[in-house]
Each structure stands twice: as C-alpha cells, then as structure tokens.
Chain A
Amino acid sequence: MKFDAAAFKLTDLNSVQVRSLGIGVLGLLLTVVGYFTKTEQFFFSYLTAYLFWVSIALGALFLVLLFHLTGTVWGVTLRRILETLMKVLPYMAIFFIPVLLGAHHLYEWSHVDVVAADPILSKKTSYLNITFFAIRTAFYFTVWYLIAAKLYKTSLAMDGGAKPEHIKTLKKVSAPGMIIFALTTTFASFDWIMSLYPHWYSTIFGLYFFSGGLVGTLTLVIVIGLYMNKRGAMDSVITVEHYHDLAKFTFGFIIFWGYMGFSQYLLIWYANIPEETIFYLDRWRGTWPIITMTVVLGHFLIPFVGLLSRNSKRNYTYLKYMSIFILIMHWVDIFWLVIPVLHTSGVRFCIFDFTAMAGIGGIFMWLFWKQLGKHAAVPMGDPKFEESLKHHNP
C-alpha cells in the first residue's frame, strides 16, 4: 500500500485486495459446506454475519448524511472512507438472496400451516408473507442505492473543483435522505430480525439495530485508518485529532446504544406482557445469560469506562484494541439477537458462524479496497478539506 500525497490517491492496493478476496472466497466456500451438513445452522450463521456487515454499511450511510447536513469540518478528511463503505451497501443486496431462499428455515411466519393454526400470526399475514418481504427488501436496497449513488457521484465531482451547486445538491439529497434512511432502516430491522419472533414487537428495535451498527462503523473506520497509517498511507490526512473525534463519537453512540437497549428492556420488564417478555426469557434460558451479560458488559460498560478519558482516545495502540473489541461485541450483539431462535436451550457456537463472517467480510472488504483505490482517498475538492486537516481538539 502506497499513498500519493499530492493526488491523495492510494496505490499498490493489490496485496490487501487479494488477501480480502481470498479470505472472502475461502470463507464462503467453507460456509457452503454448512448448507449441506447443517442447513438450519447455515442460514442462521449466514444471517448473523450478513446483518453485521449490512449494519456497518448502513452506519456509514448515516454518517455521510449527517456530515452533509451538519456541515461538519473535522470529519471531511474521513468522508471518502465512509462514502466507500456506503458504496458497498448496494452490493449487499446480492448477499440477501441466500436469506430469501432460506426464509423458510429462518422465519416462522413463512410456514403456512403454523400461521393458520395461530390466531395472532394469521392476522399478520398481509404484512408477513414472502412476496411482500422480498418486495420490501428490494425497495430498501433501491432507495439506499439511489441515495448513496447520488451522494458518491456528487462528492467525486467536487474532487475536480467544488461548485456551490454541488454543496446544494448534497444538502438537498441529505435532508429527505435522512428521513428515508430512518424509516427504511427501522423497517429493515423489523423485517430481517424482529420477524424472527413474529409474536414479539418492540417499536424501539430499529434504533437499537441502527445504533449498534453505527458503533460498528465508527470502530471499523478507526481500525481501517490505523491499518493504513501503519503502512505509511494517509498519515498526513488522518491525524490523532481525527481519531480522537472518532473515538468521541464511538463513546457517544455506545451510550446511545445502551440507552436504546435499556429503554427496550425496562418497558418490557415493567409492563410484563407475555408476548413481549418472551424475547428476554429466551435469552435467559440455559447458558444464554452468559451471552446476555457479555453484551451488557462488553458492548456498554467496558467501552464506556474504557473510552472515558482523553488519553484513551488518543493512544493508537489502545484505541486499536478497544475498537477491535467493540467490533467483536457488535457481532456478539447480533448473535444474541438472531441465534436464540435456533438454539433455544443454550448457547451453541458453530464453525459456520465464523466462516460466514469471514466470507461476507472478506468480500465486503475486497469491494471496499477496490472502490477506495479507484478515486482520491479523501474528498480533496471539498471547500472544508483544508480546514479539516488542521482540525484541533482543545
């Protein structure tokens, strides 16, 4: 990996691309073995990994929208990385095909006989049926593609010299884009995760899914940035001040995630309605309390205390390991949401959980590095870019 500091372009990305693609293809091939040996497990493992990477791409889309809406200065130098992550989101539509094909293994509501015998589920058939499920997902990805493509294209156009119209376009797309993003992400989380337990409902669930994903995005950007800096790339454009702010955001959204998780829990605990409490009851059976407590401690308490002080946000080595830890915890969180439907009696990890993660992750990162190498790695034409480089935390 080399960085052309004059054109702000990354070159010699071959090795990282080949490595990502290799891990991706190998992971996916190994996961396919699971389809033939443990079909149910395969689909659940795949869904967990899929949701992890989609949530990260969605978090990137959110941050780009947020940056344009608020006119942020500090984050401009990081924006191309986020835009590239966002650009990978439409490709994730292709990876949804196995979920759609395996809907019968994943979603209880897809069984006509079960639904017919259940008075609650039979009333939900107009929403929860395979055709509408597929149409909705196609709609989400189309909308996300349109927003992401327009933002990316306009940002690239600014590289050759920014015009006031560019900034106007970006704001014009971002404002309604943010509202559409909120609604589509909420409904996507309802469809993909909440409908795994078709009786259960939680209106805050969309925010819970989104906030976890956003933490994942921020920590992944920290890891990617440090990975590049270590190889002598981008260290002139991403400085300790930018990592400090990324870590602040991570800290903030760790609290936001905890707030969402606790709000959901407290209301369900307090109301004590069987349809709702079943969600937490399932996660308190057998050995599941271990994972439940891991999520509480690892996804909230440890990062909260661990990122509290200023020095912890500015120490590269510490920040790297903390970010990797939070990323792992984000995966554990998704695992905690999805897998109890399959393994009701206790926690069971499976090799395919990890191969699916490596498989989709490898392809995801391959697409990311490929896209990042195509254009300048920073939005160098943005009027706020120079100011962003000089950003300084008091």
Chain B
Amino acid sequence: MKSGKIEGVIAEFENPAALIDAAEKMRDSEYTRFDCHSPFPIHGMDKAMGEKRSVLGWIVAPVAFLMVLVGFLFEGWTSTIAYPLVISGKPLFSYQAYGAVAFALMVLTSAGTALFGMLALNKLPRFHHPVFYSDRFAKVTDDAFFVSIEAKDAKFDEKETVEFLKSIGGREIELLIADD
C-alpha cells in the first residue's frame, strides 16, 4: 500500500479562522507550492496566502486594444477595397459606422481572452490532482478545511513538512501517495 511515490501532504484544520491563520504561517514560511481548500470562499484568504494580483488584466488589455483596431481596419478594408459598395450615398470610407463593429469585436475577443486566460492561468482543465489520493479529502466539499503542500516544492521533505504542518496546528496529517 505504501509503495507509491509521495506526491504531497495534506492537513486538516478545524474552521475557517484556523485555516486563515495557517495560510498566513505558510505564506511566511519558505514553502511556495501550497494551497488552501475550503467548502466556500473565505474573505481575506488571498491576502493571507500572499497571492499576488492576477496578471490577467495585462493580457486582456492589449488584446482589446489590438482587436478594436483590427475591427476598424477590417471593416475599412472590406468597404473600400474588397467589396466597395455605396450605401445611402455615403463615402466608401465611412469610418463613423465602424465604431459599433470594432467595439463588438473588442468585447467578444476580450471576453474570450478573459475566460480562456483565466482557465490557462488556473492550469485548467485538469483531470487529476494529488489531493484526490486522500479519501478524507472528499469532506472538503462539505465541512472540512485543508492545507496541501506538493512534493514538487523545493523545501518538501517527508518528515520535516509533516512536522511543520503539525506545528501550525494541522490535524489528521496525511501523505498523498500515488496509486493509493
């Protein structure tokens, strides 16, 4: 049973306050690849975990500015070069009318970028995660609060990490063993 590779460790905490407290201690420790799990969002968790602001905005903004320009030029190209057509006696290059399409294209592409960028930054979709090796972990969707540390963490050590989790108040500490 204990033959598989250790992929991480989880520890249970009693309530959201204890989890926040643990998150702060994790943040101040040298561990980097840790995560907190709870049945519902906890206010202030981002700050407690030391999460930085998402870079998503900086990905969406250039896409939006680029696509509004593309939309404008694209409509200009279709109505002056590709398919010149006089509509209600207006000049071929009637830029006034392009605003709506350029705007719509900007909204569409930036919404798409925001959605797929968010998924990519969250490393989603993924079908498996080491925490699922634990049977107790199923309780996280109901009434349990967990902290997990991945074995990939540079500071991860089977014994030391378990000791560390114990020292910050973790209970029911469990090693995540592959093919368990």
- Whether B57 is near chain A, meaning CB under 8 Å from some CB there, is yes
- Whether B138 is near chain A, meaning CB under 8 Å from some CB there, is no
User: Per a CB cutoff under 8 Å, which of B46, B57, B88, B97 touches A266?
Assistant: B97
Q: How far is the CA of A230 from the CA of B46 in the complex (A)?
A: 31
- Whether B85 is near chain A, meaning CB under 8 Å from some CB there, is no
* Complex interface bits, B54-89 against A, C-beta within 8 A gives 1, otherwise 0: 000100010000000000000000000000000011
- Whether A308 is near chain B, meaning CB under 8 Å from some CB there, is yes
Residue total for A at the interface (Cβ-Cβ under 8 A): 10
A266→B61 contact, CB < 8 A? no
User: Per a CB cutoff under 8 Å, which of B57, B88, B89, B99 touches A262?
Assistant: B99
Expressed in whole angstroms, the minimum distance between the Cβ of A192 and any Cβ of chain B is 28
Q: With A309-B57, A394-B46 given, is the CB distance from A265 to B88 under 8 Å?
A: no
- Whether B100 is near chain A, meaning CB under 8 Å from some CB there, is yes
Expressed in whole angstroms, the minimum distance between the Cβ of A74 and any Cβ of chain B is 15
Contacts of A394 in B (CB 8 A): 46
Contacts of B57 in A (CB 8 A): 309-310
- Whether A129 is near chain B, meaning CB under 8 Å from some CB there, is no
Q: How far is the CA of A265 from the CA of B89 in the complex (A)?
A: 17
B97→A270 contact, CB < 8 A? yes
Q: How far is the CA of A270 from the CA of B94 in the complex (A)?
A: 10
- Whether A269 is near chain B, meaning CB under 8 Å from some CB there, is yes
Q: How far is the CA of A272 from the CA of B61 in the complex (A)?
A: 35
Expressed in whole angstroms, the minimum distance between the Cβ of B10 and any Cβ of chain A is 27
Question: Which residues of chain A (262-295) have a CB below 8 Å from chain B?
Answer: 262, 265-266, 269-270, 272
Which residue numbers of A lie inside 8 Å of B, CB to CB? 262, 265-266, 269-270, 272, 308-310, 394
Which residue numbers of B lie inside 8 Å of A, CB to CB? 46, 53, 57, 61, 88-89, 96-97, 99-100
17 A–B pairs (Cβ distance < 8 Å), ordered by A: A262-B99, A265-B96, A266-B96, A266-B97, A266-B99, A266-B100, A269-B96, A270-B88, A270-B96, A270-B97, A272-B88, A272-B89, A308-B61, A309-B57, A310-B53, A310-B57, A394-B46
- Sort A-B residue pairs by CB-CB distance and give the 7 closest, nearest first: A269-B96, A262-B99, A266-B96, A272-B88, A270-B97, A266-B99, A308-B61
| Seed contacts A262-B99, A266-B100; 15 additional CB < 8 Å A-B pairs | A265-B96, A266-B96, A266-B97, A266-B99, A269-B96, A270-B88, A270-B96, A270-B97, A272-B88, A272-B89, A308-B61, A309-B57, A310-B53, A310-B57, A394-B46
